[in-house]
Amino acid sequence: MGMHYSDEFRDEAVRLVSDSKSSVARIAADLGINAWTLRDWVQKHREKSIGSDGRRPETLEEENRRLKRELCVLRQERDLLKKAAAYFAKEQR
């Protein structure tokens, strides 16, 4: 059965990989763990931080800007539809 490591140990090992210029294999050897285990932890950490769609998560400011742009477009579309509905209502009289 495999070894079980605490979440703190895993997080610290992943941080060492991202902050260090040493190879994953060297850091794993220094920590006394298998290099493939450490690579797996690093990969899972990257997937979790990037998100399921492959992009990094938006900051609140980025999300706010994106939503404001979408709102502006939707308002323009709504106004256009109102004008078209009024035009066609006049045509039918």
Residue range 17-63, pLDDT digits in tens: 988 888 999 999 999 999 999 999 999 988 887 765 666 667 888 88
Question: Helix 24-31 and helix 35-50: axis angle, to 10°?
Answer: 120
**Model pTM greater than 0.75?**
no
pLDDT of residue 58: 73
DSSP state of 1: -
Residue 91 has pLDDT above 90, yes or no: no
Query: Dihedral of the CA atoms 76, 80, 81, 85 (nearest 10)?
Result: 150
